[in-house]
């Protein structure tokens, strides 16, 4: 079983080390391609027609100068070109929850989404900040990844992936949440105002707003969530609406 791991926190992040430790407990064919620095909220952004630098740090472990999505593209078009593709892509473990509108913003979930464009099953793992990491966490995560892989027929559909949010402490029970609303980038601060040039900063953080049954409600209760999401963006419009767009005869 070939597993490819990436993230948006960077190649040296503790979360990707946890994911790699877990993956190596279920496979001896684990590859890591991750950004060379933090790329929070990079979403599915790709670097097109500009150079990317890949650096081999260890056998089967590379850093990439680009975005999380670039890591999957470079792996598929360069690293695995002419070779067997990964069987599974694991993204994370992200330093912080990915809930609500993060489904669109998250670089972690951008990794998983890009993997589905290549027809590869993918799981994005995120954990609340300041998690209480314990020595047994890697074994628990390995068991979870293994069980998800064994049950992949129940969740792998074209263009779909899993988003898993973990509470501060493991082990944890699972729930399937509603997708809530807890937007990042809700404000900006003026750092410099020089007439026609204004320098702004959008700070980190969110309100942690929650309603019963959403991701934040379960995480607050110390429970994990799993959500199957997809990139299909076409909700059918009413036929009458389409007819009304056509010029009348």
The pLDDT score that the predictor gives to residue 1 is 96
Residue 8, annotated ligand binder? Answer: yes
Confidence of residue 249 (pLDDT cuts 50, 70, 90): low
Higher confidence at residue 170 or residue 206?
170
Confidence of residue 242 (pLDDT cuts 50, 70, 90): confident
Number of H helices, E strands in the chain: 7, 11
User: Which residue ranges make up each domain of the chain?
Assistant: 2-181+209-245
Of the listed ranges 32-46, 126-140, 159-173, the one predicted with least confidence = 32-46
93 preceded by cis ω (within 30°)? Answer: yes
Confidence of residue 15 (pLDDT cuts 50, 70, 90): very high
Tell me what the mean pLDDT of segment 78-105 comes to. Answer: 95
Q: Tell me what the pLDDT averaged over the chain comes to.
A: 94
The pLDDT score that the predictor gives to residue 203 is 87
Residue 9, annotated ligand binder? Answer: yes
Res 128 pLDDT > 90: yes
Long-range pairs of 49-56 with CB within 8 A, sequence gap ≥ 24: 54/78, 54/79
25 by DSSP, 3-state: which? coil
Residue for token digits 């593209």? 73
Q: Out of 3.40.50.300, 3.40.190.10, 3.40.1210.10, 3.10.129.10, which CATH number does the structure's domain 2-181+209-245 have?
A: 3.40.1210.10
215 CB-near residues (< 8 Å, 6+ apart): 97, 99, 100, 165, 177, 179, 180, 225, 227
The pLDDT score that the predictor gives to residue 237 is 83
Contact 72, 89 (CB under 8 A): yes
Tell me what the mean pLDDT of segment 162-175 comes to. Answer: 97
Confidence of residue 18 (pLDDT cuts 50, 70, 90): very high
The pLDDT score that the predictor gives to residue 186 is 84
* Residue range 199-218, pLDDT digits in tens: 999 988 888 889 999 999 99
Residue 249, annotated ligand binder? Answer: no
């Amino acid at each position: 079983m070939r597993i490819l791991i990436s993230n948006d926190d960077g190649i040296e992040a503790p979360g990707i080390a946890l994911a790699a430790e877990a993956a190596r407990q279920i496979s001896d064919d684990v590859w890591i391609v991750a950004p060379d620095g933090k790329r929070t909220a990079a979403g599915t952004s790709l670097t097109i027609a500009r150079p990317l630098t890949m650096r081999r740090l260890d056998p089967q472990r590379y850093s990439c100068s680009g975005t999380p999505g670039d890591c999957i593209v470079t792996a598929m078009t360069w690293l695995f070109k002419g070779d067997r593709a990964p069987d599974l892509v694991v993204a994370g473990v992200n330093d912080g929850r990915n809930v609500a509108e993060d489904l669109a913003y998250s670089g972690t979930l951008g990794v998983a989404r890009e993997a589905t464009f290549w027809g590869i099953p993918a799981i994005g793992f995120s954990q609340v900040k300041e998690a209480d990491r314990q020595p047994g966490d890697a074994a628990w995560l390995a068991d979870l990844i293994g069980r998800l892989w064994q049950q992949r027929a129940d969740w792998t559909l074209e263009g779909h992936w899993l988003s898993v949010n973990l509470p501060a402490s493991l082990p944890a029970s699972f729930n399937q949440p509603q997708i809530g609303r807890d937007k990042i980038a809700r404000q900006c601060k003026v750092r410099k105002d020089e007439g026609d040039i204004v320098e702004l900063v959008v700070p980190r953080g969110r309100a942690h707003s929650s309603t019963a049954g959403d991701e934040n409600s379960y995480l607050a209760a110390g429970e994990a969530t799993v959500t199957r999401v997809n990139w299909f963006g076409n909700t059918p419009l009413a036929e009458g609406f389409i007819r009304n767009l056509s010029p009348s005869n």
